Amino acid sequence: MASTALNPSFSKPSPFPSFNSLKPHCRITLPVLTNYRKPTPHRPPLHITNSLSDPKPKPATAAAATKTATASTTTTTTPETFLSRFTPDEPRKGADILVEALEREGVTNVFAYPGGASMEIHQALTRSSTIRNVLPRHEQGGIFAAEGYARASGLPGVCIATSGPGATNLVSGLADALLDSVPIVAITGQVPRRMIGTDAFQETPIVEVTRSITKHNYLVLDVEDIPRVVREAFFLASSGRPGPVLIDVPKDIQQQLAVPIWNQPIRLSGYVSRLPKPPLENHLEQIVRLISESKKPVLYVGGGCLNSSEELRRFVELTGIPVASTLMGLGAFPSSDELSLQMLGMHGTVYANYAVDKADLLLAFGVRFDDRVTGKIEAFASRAKIVHIDIDAAEIGKNKQPHVSVCADVKDAWKGMNSLLEKEGKLKFDFSDWREELKEQKMKYPLSFKTFGEAIPPQYAIQVLDELTNGSAVISTGVGQHQMWAAQWYKYNGPRQWLTSGGLGAMGFGLPAAIGAAVARPDAIVVDIDGDGSFIMNVQELATIRVENLPIKIMLLNNQHLGMVVQWEDRFYKANRAHTYLGNPSKESEIFPDMLKFAEACDIPAARVTKRGELRKAIKKMLETPGPYLLDVIVPHQEHVLPMIPSGGAFKDVITEGDGRSMY
């Protein structure tokens, strides 16, 4: 996935090659050097050591250590001013060192739930004048909120939990962040070092538990390593393809007194050496040549393009190529633009999937050819030459073999190609016939829904929300039918408006993610479009919303069922209900549970709407009410998310008609 990067520098151009005999196995691997999150005024310079480990004994003094560290670095810069609470030579607890290390990284908000092994960290947080703790009511809520913060802002989200069950409650969030390439720094307390491995109270080997679902993790065994480990964690989380990093800190390390050495070099020379470097001009010229030879090109853009929205828009302006987005890429290119094909894939628009199926050139940028996009992989873009640009070399050729591949940051690649296109004024692309063909498909197969009396179509509820917010709200969702309808019917016109659990598909994500978004972007309208099944999984976070007085609007599409599973039951299991009804079987005519009472318990205004004619007024009241608000929108459970390409199917298998009122 792409991230913010340095301006590209190009080597000398070479002549255009011919692509008439291009085969799908010639790979161009171009790395890109990525500049992680921009430094804040408090951030110290980044020093990178030349070795992975330092076999020399530690210097006896802080001054000697600083001298040694500086001597072994590849870069040195003038330290930026940071005003510490402590004098330079004053010993302080490891927990205070940890908190100050976070401050030096520019952290202003954390999502932390205390426990026995993390109490020292929380005590240190109370001594910080710059870091605010937003107290979740469950550790999973905390890490999902940290994800919402990161997704909405582009900055690393920070969450803290205690050992044992506190740490294991972070697991779903770590897996979610890894799959969706979200920068997270998760800090856990651990039992004292002498008790590790003894099955002590609330001990779990969280480093081992999370090894395969984090980008990297640490068990801190020396208090003097804290400054370096924290700096490395933020660098790793934000550089290259972003992801989660876990730091496990034993309680005795938190309590130990030490004088921190802030200028320690980071020991990531192997990682840094593997970071991609700027793309070469001749390789970008090859891609431009492919575009000039094509008749039906399509851009297939994903989450890796969120940091390069401006470059993408300029590229489309210069070429006139239509854009299809993945679920994760929504907002990178404006959904309301005439060249937008909206979302492709299992529940993508017919015209987006048609475009990919008929394309002769597929420009796959910042994507990973996920199964929910491709369906039957052999049939996906089977007529097209494929160009794949991604910052992660492991994704290139993993699922679909490209004809040309570039391991690079798409931001740099687009800057380079835009520069070439602007210089080559004589290059004129005419894809008007292709655009007209796609326009006909849009007219023939628009997104649509049916109405049944005064029942509220869930798609209509999202359409009205889009109209009343002018497509400018930050939207979070849970997982299920409501998630797909929110992807289809809300028009995302900018990046980081759309927060959803894509790869993992974690129910319960929407409400806490909205908390993180509201903290990161306090001036934005934040709406959690949720389903009753997902909402109830982290309903306790209503308490956090109330206490923090976050102006989060919750639009609950309540159908009393696990809607997406019900849809599959309808289509593939003869509508046999296998534990997908979430109401009370003995009182099917009543709404159960009563979501309004959850809101009342947390002193949050709430209302229920059951009739289509009353919906617009109800949504308008929700948006105009100061502070948080819950609107319980009762919708029929028979609705299906359409279009739908069945799992493992191809474009020819697309379903565009029907719902749970019919038998299959």
Contact 276, 410 (CB under 8 A): no
**Residue 626 burial (CB count, 10 A):** 8
Q: Is 159 helix (H, G, I), strand (E, B) or coil?
A: strand
Q: If residue 14 lies in a helix (H) or strand (E), which one and from where to where? A: none
3-state SS track over 345-377: CCCCCHHHHHHHHHCCEEEEECCCCCHHHHCCH
Pairing state between β 257-258 and 92-93:
antiparallel
Which of 1, 346, 537, 564 is the catalytic position?
Answer: 564
Q: Which of 524, 501, 539, 536 is nearest to 151 (CA)?
A: 501
User: What tokens appear for 201 in the block?
Assistant: 């109270």
User: What tokens appear for 338 in the block?
Assistant: 């005439």
Q: Which of 460, 496, 487 is nearest to 305 (CA)?
A: 496
| Residue 251 annotated among the catalytic residues of the structure | yes
Which of 120, 139, 147, 232 is the catalytic position?
Answer: 139
Query: In what order do the strands lie in the sheet containing 323-325?
Result: 340-343, 323-325, 297-301, 361-365, 385-390, 404-407
Which of 202, 255, 401, 540 is the catalytic position?
Answer: 202
Which of 86, 201, 452, 572 is the catalytic position?
Answer: 201
Contact 109, 517 (CB under 8 A): no
Q: Which of 166, 159, 82, 86 is nearest to 127 (CA)?
A: 86
| Residue 338 annotated among the catalytic residues of the structure | no
Which of 93, 215, 251, 411 is the catalytic position?
Answer: 251
| Residue 201 annotated among the catalytic residues of the structure | yes
| Residue 202 annotated among the catalytic residues of the structure | yes
Calpha distance 428→424 (Å, rounded): 9
Cα–Cα distances in Å, from 285 out to 268, 288, 326, 345, 413?
33, 5, 26, 30, 11
Catalytic positions, written as ranges: 139, 201-202, 251, 564
